[in-house]
Amino acid sequence: MSDNINLDNRKKRMHSLFNSDKCTYDENLIKVFKIGDQSINSIKNAVQYFIWDCLISSKPDMSIKIDDNFYKKYEEEIKILPNITPNGLLVPKKENLLSFNKLQKIIFQEFKKNKLNEKIDKVQFPVNVRIQSGSFGGNERARASTKKHTDIWAGDPSGAIIVFLHIFGDFKNIGIDFFETNEFPKHQVKALDDYDEGVRNIVNLKELKIKYNDMGWIFVDPFLLHQTYKNSDSIRISLDFRFMPKEKVESDTYEDENRKPYFITVNEWSEYGDTKILSTKQTLFGEYKNNNFTKSYPVNVFTSDILDNSKSNTLTNKKFIGENYIKEKFGLSDQDFNEIFPNGVEILEYSILHGSDRDDVISSIIDKINSSELRVSGENNNEIWEKGWGEILDSISKDFHPNKLMPQYFDHHKIMRFEGNYIIGITENFVYKFDQIIRTIILKKYMSKTKKLIELGCGTGSGTILAAKLLNSDIKLVASDWASKSLPIIKKISEYTNREIEAVQFNMLDLSGWEDLNVDKDSTIISFHALEQLGDNYKNLLYRLLEKKVICIHLEPIYEYYNQDNLYDLLAKNYHKKRNYLGKYFSDIKKLESQGKAKIIKELRIGFGDRFHEAYSLLIWKGM
């Protein structure tokens, strides 16, 4: 009986595991599996979002944006993230669990797409995000990755195939060398305290030409030694994990008991992001799990089964917005509701998206955030509005009907955000109908005693015509917009409702046309999704409203209403920042209130919006 491992059996298994047609590099114990552009972009987006999540959670006072220069711009901040272990693992903590779980789901889907999952018995969980840099140090450690080694010596199973995927960085200067040997002693198939001990017992090590690269998935048999080199102080980001194939060979004998809990079945792997989530109670600035080496995962993690109590599962495929919800959300008494809606409301039906459907929405949001084609607010460019409102004007010129005033973008929003979930509307024109319910409540609850209503950014007049119908005829109506095409639309609404409505071209950015609004002490200012277009250029308008001491009612995306601690809101916050929507308007009013110069009358996060953010947040305030 030989004292060495039969490496030929392992080579044969590697060839059977990986389709040679997809291999860009095909060596005995190492294969490089090509990955499509869409797949690598999906994974890179998820990794980037996880790192962004770590950054904003650890540096809440720092403005951190995802863009093409993300890694270069924040390289130094990434290097000192509090959840990087000495060997470069970027581990999940309580503050970034959702983005980490999302990444795990995407990796599973990519393996499934390539029909690899059907060849896997168990997979190491979770998939590791690893950051390496020459500035990290730690090369003196007994188990430093900069020493030649096999992961078996760190406690990994001898049957586990190692997986690497390059995500970002200088892989030529911060890379991995691979070494093969014709003889691997059986007595060295065990965990070692020091990698040097193992290397001393391996003879005839030969360095392979293949290096760690960005050509695709790199699959490595553990009996091929490898060594990390760090010749640059920049960063390299990669994924690495292991899986145990269904096909066994006689040398798949060693498995450290400390590592065994971190290998799960493919079926279990598929559940994460659907019915299960990986969780931990450890925080970003807490202590790492104390162990001598890396025999077990450096964070105390546990699984939360979302469906572990079916009796308390209140989610159904279909949900409804009706009288009870409206009264509770907006604080309406029975009498209030009946006065505002004397004929009741249409019950709006929707369904909540779960599992892969929800994952697809999140993925689409990340893609949109990373898109270079997003239009940015805060610029004095009316071209898009002149074109859009011009199309509405053409539509109503010969045949006016109120339904034609619905902005074109309303019909695009089939998937929405609502009360912490992504939903799809079942009722026809769900968005427009719920929008009208919300505006009706605002108009009738807060406008009934005003003498003059001035709308900023009236657009197609969908809010104007509602005000003309709902409010007493003795309330003067003024509708303003920066697009000239909006003015003749208001004239058509005036004719249709047989009510005088003054149309004013007013630019909220440079305040041209302000005097034509004739804002006085009897005025109430209202805006529906209009101030969002000002970005950070809102202060001229804010201080003009402040000095007039009028009540201002806004239904706008309020950045400060979002919760910092969950992925659902972090996505919206990042989209809000990427689009440069309304800046710290609310924060400025809060400061003015603390100085006795303003008073906030009402603030309400309604929790509704398109899939990307919430344009339906209510803020009512007044200058003092």
Q: What is residue 614's predicted lDDT score, i.e. its pLDDT?
A: 95
| CATH number reported for the structural domain that contains residue 245 in this entry | 2.60.120
As a whole-number percent, the residues of the chain with pLDDT over 90 amount to 62
289, 332: one domain: no
pLDDT at residue number 158: 92
By residue range, what is the domain housing residue 492? Answer: 319-623
pLDDT(314) > 60: no
Q: What is the pLDDT of residue 310?
A: 45
Render the burial of 236-273: b for 16+ CB within 10 Å, e for the rest: bbbbbbbbbbeeebebbebbbeebeebbbebeebbbbb
What would the mean pLDDT of 599-615 be, rounded to a whole number?
95
Cross-strand pairs, 162: 220, 242
Same domain, 28 and 86: yes
Buried b (16+ CB within 10 A) or exposed e, 433-453: bbbbbbbbbbbbbbbeebebb
The region of weakest confidence among 120-129, 260-269, 297-306, 588-597 is 297-306
Cβ proximity of 408 and 338 under 8 Å: no
For 202-217, write each residue's pLDDT tens digit: 988 999 999 999 999 9
Residue at 190 is within a domain: yes
Q: How confident is the model at residue 195 (pLDDT cuts 50, 70, 90)?
A: very high
If asked whether residues 127 and 267 sit together in one domain, one would say yes
Residue 275 lies in a domain: yes
Quick one: pLDDT at residue 294? 46
pLDDT the model gives residue 550: 95
Least confident of 55-64, 212-221, 316-325, 591-600: 316-325
Asked whether the predicted pLDDT for residue 293 surpasses 50, the reply is: no
Q: Are residues 144 and 117 in the same domain?
A: yes
pLDDT for 420 equals 92
Residues 246, 373, single domain; the answer is: no
Among 472, 556, 462, which Cα is nearest to 508's?
556
456 or 485, greater pLDDT? 456
Q: Which of 74, 106, 95, 57 minimizes the C-alpha distance to 364?
A: 106
Residues 49 and 95 in one domain: yes
Tell me which of 279, 305, 331 is where a domain ends.
305
Most confident region among 290-294, 373-377, 504-508 by mean pLDDT: 504-508
Residues 330, 270 within the same domain: no
The percent of residues above 70 in pLDDT, for the chain, comes to 92
Indicate yes or no: pTM above 0.85: no
User: Coil, strand or helix: which one is 227?
Assistant: strand
Q: How many whole angstroms separate alpha carbon 314 and alpha carbon 347?
A: 19
- CA diameter of the chain: 103
Q: How confident is the model over 148-172, as a mean pLDDT?
A: 93
Look up the CATH number of the domain holding residue 529: 3.40.50.150
405: exposed, middle or buried (Cβ count in 10 Å: 0-12, 13-18, 19+) = buried
Asked if residue 357 is part of any domain, the answer here is yes
Q: Is residue 1 domain-resident?
A: no
- Mean of per-residue pLDDT scores for the chain: 88
Could you tell me if residue 195 is inside a domain? yes
Q: Which helix (H) or strand (E) covers residue 476, if one does?
A: strand 476-481
**What pLDDT, in 10s, does the model give residues 111-130?**
998 889 999 999 998 999 99
C-beta separation of 304 from 419 below 8 A: no
Cα(254)–Cα(252) distance, integer angstroms: 6
Instruction: Specify whether 285 is located in the same domain as 332.
Output: no
Tell whether 347 and 423 lie within a shared domain: yes
b/e per residue 70-108 (b: at least 16 CB within 10 A): bbeebeeebeebebbbebbbbbbbebbbbbbbbbbbbbb
Please tell me the predicted confidence (pLDDT) of residue 400: 77
Give the residue with greater pLDDT, 347 vs 296.
347
Q: What is the pLDDT of residues 320-343, one digit of tens each?
A: 899 989 999 999 999 999 999 998
Query: 233-292: per-residue pLDDT in tens?
Result: 999 999 999 999 999 999 998 776 666 778 889 998 998 888 888 888 889 887 655 444
439 in the same domain as 292 = no
Q: How do beta strands 235-245 and 206-211 pair? A: unpaired
Q: Is residue 2 part of a domain?
A: no
Structurally, the chain folds into a number of domains equal to: 2
* Residue 164 pLDDT grade (very low, low, confident, very high; cuts 50, 70, 90): very high
* Residues 91, 300: Cα–Cα separation, whole Å: 10
Tell me the three state secondary structure of residue 233. Answer: coil
3-state secondary structure of 316: coil
Residue 36 domain-assigned? yes
Pair (407, 445) in one structural domain: yes
Ramachandran angles phi, psi of 345, nearest 5°: -130, 150
Tokens of 176: 């991995």
Q: Do 301 and 323 belong to one domain?
A: no
Asked, for residue 477, whether it belongs to a domain, the answer is: yes
Half-sphere exposure of 544 (CA within 13 A, CB side): 17
Which of residues 270, 305, 340 is at a domain's end?
305
